[in-house]
Amino acid sequence: MKDALGRHILCEAYGCDPEVLDNRDLVESIMVRAALAAGAEVREVAFHEFSPQGISGVVVISESHLTIHTWPELGYAAIDVFTCGDAVDPWDAVEYLIQHFEAKDTACSEIKRGVMQHEMVKIS
């Protein structure tokens, strides 16, 4: 990746299995396995279960992070996968997540992060 420090995938996952999206242990396991499937090195994991429903969590990887926020009542998950460097392809993790959350439809986009200018502009 010569033109940016990292790649950030934003994924809207619709029609997901509500029972999966409301199971903290399962969501955490799927997120960690997605990171590993993409070749990332997992550093920290933190997930929270909301009442009456929903899960939010982060998997911190050496290459950056994976995050999720779920709305089981809507079958919806907001997923972010941000990786730096060339060793890990964030799309591998996103595809794993889409499959294991059983998403019927998705809208995903990639943003390049840390795009550096050839000359830095000094602001006084």
Active-site positions read: 64, 69, 84
Check if the beta carbon of residue 56 is closer than 8 Å to that of residue 68. yes
3-state secondary structure of 109: strand
Q: What CA–CA distance (Å, rounded) separates 42 from 98?
A: 20
H/E run at residue 11: strand 6-14
CA 48-80-101 angle, 5° bins: 70
